[in-house]
Every structure is written in structure tokens, then in C-alpha cells.
Amino acid sequence: MTPARERAYPVAPESGDHDSRFTNGLALDVAEVIEAHGYPKFTSGRDLLELRISLYRFLYKDAL
């Protein structure tokens, strides 16, 4: 059995608690991919906010 590779995420933000890669565009791109896979369209700002929070936790949670 091959040993599991070390995780690549979470990562540290580019600069302290700020990362220029983490934009509204990133969340909208992820929402578009989710919709393309047959999930309902994002019609609520609350849904986009929750997606953005989830992305932040995935990308940075333990790195801060």
C-alpha cells in the first residue's frame, strides 16, 4: 500500500491574514462549477456568503 501524500491544504495567506487570491471572483467561479454539475443556481446572497466562508475555512482554517 502506498503511503498517503501530505495534504496541500490549508495554506498560509500570502500576507498575514490577507490573500489577494481570495476574491469574490473565486467564489463566483466555484459557484459556477457547482451549478455546471447540476446543482441549483445560486440565487441568494446568503448562499454565496456561506460558500465564501466554506472556501475560507478549507483554504486557511489551520494556517492562521
CA 1 to chain centre: 31
Query: What's this model's pTM, rounded to 2 decimal places?
Result: 0.82
Q: Give start and end residues of each alpha helix (H) in 1-64.
A: 24-36, 45-60
pLDDT of residue 64: 54
Nearest residue to 18 via CA among 45, 55, 51, 56? 56
Q: Where are the beta strands (DSSP E) in 3-62?
A: none
Apex CA 23: angle with CA 18 and CA 17, to 5°?
10
Q: What are the mean pLDDT values of the chain's consecutive 10-residue runs (64 residues total)?
A: 84 87 96 98 96 95 69
